[in-house]
Structure 1
Amino acid sequence: MTIDGARILLLGRNGQVGHELLRTLAPLGEVIAADRATLDLCDESAIRALVRRVRPTLIVNAAAYTAVDKAESEPDLAFAVNARAPAVLAQEAAALGAWLVHYSTDYVFAGDKPQGAYLETDATGPINAYGRSKLAGEAAIAAEGGAHIILRTSWVYGAHGANFAKTIVRLAREREKLSIVADQIGAPTSSHLIAETTAQLIWQLAGAGEAAISGLYHLQSAGEASWYEFAGAIVEQLRAMDAAAVRCREILPIPASAYPTPARRPANSRLDCGKIARTFGLSLPHWRDDFGPRFREILGL
Structure 2
Amino acid sequence: MKILITGANGQVGQALVNKLQGNAELLAVTREQLDITNEAKVQTQVQAFLPDVIINAAAYTAVDKAEQEQELAHQINAAGPEFLAKAAESINAALLHISTDYVFAGDKQGSYSELDKTNPQGAYGASKLAGEKAVAACCQKHIILRTAWVFHENGANFVKTMLRLGKERDSLGIVGDQFGGPTYAGDIAEALIQIAQHITSGQPTSYGIYHFAGMPHVSWFEFASAIFDAAVKHQVIDKKPQLNAISTAEFPTPAKRPANSKLNCEKIQREFGITPSNWRNALERIEDY
TM-score under structure 1 normalisation? 0.92
The 5-angstrom pairing of residues 1-301 of structure 1 reads: 6-114=1-109, 116-205=110-199, 206-209=201-204, 212-242=205-235, 245-246=237-238, 248-288=240-280, 290-296=281-287, 300-301=288-289
Dislocated runs of 4+, deviation >4 Å: none
Question: C-alpha distance in 1, partners of 2:194/2:101?
Answer: 22
Q: Mean Cα displacement is larger for which, 65-74 or 142-151?
A: 142-151
Unaligned runs of 5+ in 1: 1-5
Paired amino acid for 1:291 = A
Question: C-alpha distance in 1, partners of 2:11/2:161?
Answer: 14
Paired amino acid for 2:71 = D
Contact 1:8/1:57 (<8 A) preserved: yes
Question: C-alpha distance in 2, partners of 1:277/1:247?
Answer: 38
Question: C-alpha distance in 2, partners of 1:178/1:145?
Answer: 46
After TM superposition, give the deviation of residue 128 of structure 1 in Å. Answer: 0.7
Question: C-alpha distance in 2, partners of 1:41/1:103?
Answer: 14
After TM superposition, give the deviation of residue 292 of structure 1 in Å. Answer: 3.8
Contact 1:174/1:247 (<8 A) preserved: no
3-state secondary structure, aligned to 1:204 = helix
- Given the superposition, is the C-alpha separation of residues 249 and 57 from structure 1 closer, same or farther in structure 2, using an over 3 Å criterion? closer
Computed over aligned residues only, the root mean square deviation of the Cα atoms, in angstroms, reads 1.4
Question: C-alpha distance in 2, partners of 1:125/1:157?
Answer: 24
Question: C-alpha distance in 1, partners of 2:266/2:124?
Answer: 26
3-state secondary structure, aligned to 2:76 = helix
Q: Mean Cα displacement is larger for which, 27-36 or 250-259?
A: 27-36
Cα distance per residue 1:87-123 (max 9 Å; x no partner): 1111110110001011000000000002x11000000
Question: C-alpha distance in 2, partners of 1:133/1:174?
Answer: 35
Contact 1:172/1:246 (<8 A) preserved: no
Question: C-alpha distance in 2, partners of 1:287/1:21?
Answer: 18
Q: Mean Cα displacement is larger for which, 32-41 or 148-157?
A: 32-41
Question: C-alpha distance in 1, partners of 2:10/2:229?
Answer: 27
Paired residues in the alignment total: 288
- Given the superposition, is the C-alpha separation of residues 7 and 286 from structure 1 closer, same or farther in structure 2, using an over 3 Å criterion? closer
TM-score under structure 2 normalisation? 0.96
Unaligned runs of 5+ in 2: none
After TM superposition, give the deviation of residue 48 of structure 1 in Å. Answer: 1.7
